[in-house]
Structure 1
């Protein structure tokens, strides 16, 4: 029996846990000889495909040169390359790059930057506004700014209070009115949002114009905008950043997952110059006090630098557009099947809901779907009654057709179960 305690896994259900031996492109290969299509990019991280030759070569080369060095007061070439590459790719206003090692820590850093900015500029602002159904991670700060519920109910005594705006409905007036009121009456420090797509909340999409107006409201009231693009960044919504579609440049931007092409754990929090300047002083008490032992690990940075180079000189956006078109066509076909509701796509993200009585995250349907997909050699992980596909950009037409066939078969099994 394995001693491993797996994340988001209820071991009491005794569900099988396949062992993966290797991966290539959009496929995983298990110990027992199965080829499994990775339909969710191994939890939304793998962009160009598993074991991309350029990224693996960069990792191999860097591992023979410099494996690790303290980043407090020291630097190295891979980190400098990543920072320069990000400055070239990302909005010009985001001038500063702070390294960390996961999406959760990138968000924690962003929250601390926002509060530090207000503390050091004397505005006396400390509140944070969040969006209903959002998810920003599993550390204490990120759980505090995420949806309260099954994910964090046991840890409620540790969480700090936030103000919440409703998820946008229709043209989003419900959200915008609530945000305007909170910004005027509560004078919060920051608003944190997942731009365009709320991932773990159920692949919930909202219009770009709502994000545009939220940014305008924040600007008018001196509220910092934090864009959590940990999942939506690196092309998932069809553009490099989801914020591009709204014409928005956030004050603070969180990136992880696809930063290394999904090969290594690494994250960055990018900030505008005023955020950095608020911490710049001869007074050591204004230092930005955050780090981890493996901040800007050289091997992970080498992978990220290779990923940035791929974005700069390969037709990544063309691949994204082709995949997005196939996703849209697939969802249109799935929408005609019995029990399918709310068909939707955003860039390379496709999602449908299945009409069942219990449709929350703990829906009894989810484990049955998960087992069906596992037996069909598909890595798809439903969110309650929501089935979504978010594959690597290298997924070819044949594998995409197999993913669709697996979903059709699963929907058929659900429909037969209702009869």
Structure 2
């Protein structure tokens, strides 16, 4: 029995309708920007395996750090205990996060990082004697698959069966430079009707929505209004964090900094799962009390796992290295050159870029998980490039170690897509 057949017997894959797509592709090896299947065929991982392996797969530097930590301390409960990798990671993270961040809570993935951010916003007001039970979010945002994270997400394809159980959420459109006054009035109206506890947003780029982008200056008025109304601002940097937007964090480009920041994915460089939620001292102080009930009682068994912390520390060191920073600049420049080349192609509806994130919309009507989307996916895989279209949106978010030749192959496959579909 093949690996594909054995997989089909027991495994339930994410975001998969198994009746339509019963088989998964076996990958047996990965190195740098490349994946290898069981027949030895190689594929360029042009999406960094869901934006995680930004320093390349099986990075020797990260493997060495993980191996060293495994021999010292593998796991210890983080309630009442601490260890050097967690403390050092807290110090290294605070050194590169926006200056207003002061405390962090370890968790285990992006959904729970945002779940904790939402709970921080809601319980902050509960602890300070305010009755605020409504969250604010952008339309078409995506913040994860746990119940609170789904509540604030606006993509109904993921949420449908659970909407009756959601917390109360009000939604505003993305700012575009022309609708800010209207959005600010919406926020005022929402707040009068049902006081808003928090505003969760993906800064600059909405990932799952199709890499939709907006400008920093267009969101600053919204964040300022939230500050005025004491609405806790929660930046979901699970996708955007750790260099992808051209700075360490997308929030670096925005003058008004968030109260809470949610991190995961590239945090641990695609090696092991981990999430972190950070906050200001003001947020933390609202939970600091003689009343035990005012504590944030949220825990994960693997919170602060020493191996995950060691991996995250190695990733930060790589991110800050001259080599990776130069690679990021090179990829940004290659994207700009490719955009200029194809921007007037009749099959291209629009192109956008933020840092190493590149996206184009095909001038073709497509369902998010429809047949045409899968045909394009399979076409790219046959050509040796792993791209994962989001409906009519095709995006590139390749590892920072992707070579120029590999990037040129990705662009060549996209040219073929434009001619073939």
**Fold shared per TM-score above 0.5:** yes
Distance apart, 1:232 and its partner CA: 0.7
2:289 to 277, 281, 287: 281
Q: Secondary structure at the match of 2:43?
A: strand
In the TM superposition, residue 319 of structure 1 has moved relative to its aligned partner by: 2.0
Unaligned runs of 5+ in 1: 415-419
Instruction: Report the equivalent of 2:402.
Output: 395
Q: Does 1:160 align with 2:167?
A: yes
| Alignment match, 2:41 | 34
Q: 2:11 aligns with which of 4, 20, 29?
A: 4
Offset at residue 214 of structure 1 (A): 1.5
1:217 aligns with 2:219: no
Deviations 1:218-270 (A, max 9, x none): 11111111000000111111111111112231000001111112221111100
Q: Deviations over 1:300-359 (max 9, x none)?
A: 1110111122234444333212111111211222223221111111111111111223x3
Alignment map for 1:77-96 (pairs within 5 Å): 77-96=84-103
Which residue number corresponds to residue 74 of structure 2?
67
Q: Normalising to structure 1: TM-score of the pair?
A: 0.95
Out of 235, 242, 245, the residue aligned to residue 243 of structure 2 is 235
Count matched residues.
413
Q: Give the match for residue 116 of structure 2.
A: 109
Residue of structure 2 in register with 1:54 after alignment: 61
1:332–1:343 CA contact under 8 A, matched in 2: no
The yes-or-no answer on 1:76 pairing with 2:77 is: no
User: Given the alignment of the two structures, is residue 175 of structure 1 paired with residue 202 of structure 2, yes or no?
Assistant: no
Deviation at residue 386 of structure 1 after TM alignment? 0.7
| Partner SS for 1:80 | helix
What is the Cα deviation at residue 123 of structure 1?
A: 2.2
Partner of 1:128: 135
Structure 2: 5+ residue runs without aligned partners? none
CA offset at residue 397 of structure 1? 0.9
Q: Check whether the contact 1:172–1:210 (CA below 8 A) recurs between aligned residues.
A: no
State how 1:184-199 maps to structure 2 within 5 Å.
185-199=193-207
Rounded to whole Å, the distance in 2 between the matches of 1:240 and 1:338 is 35
- Do the aligned residues in 1 keep the contact of 2:135 with 2:197 (CA within 8 Å)? yes
Q: Deviations over 1:56-97 (max 9, x none)?
A: 111111111211111111111111111011111112210001
Asked whether the equivalents of residues 27 and 35 of structure 1 are also in contact (C-alpha less than 8 Å), the reply is yes
RMSD: 1.5
Do the aligned partners of 1:259 and 1:267 also contact (CA within 8 Å) in 2?
yes
- More displaced, 326-335 or 229-238? 326-335
After TM superposition, give the deviation of residue 16 of structure 1 in Å: 4.7
CA distance 1:213–1:317, shift in 2 (3 Å): farther
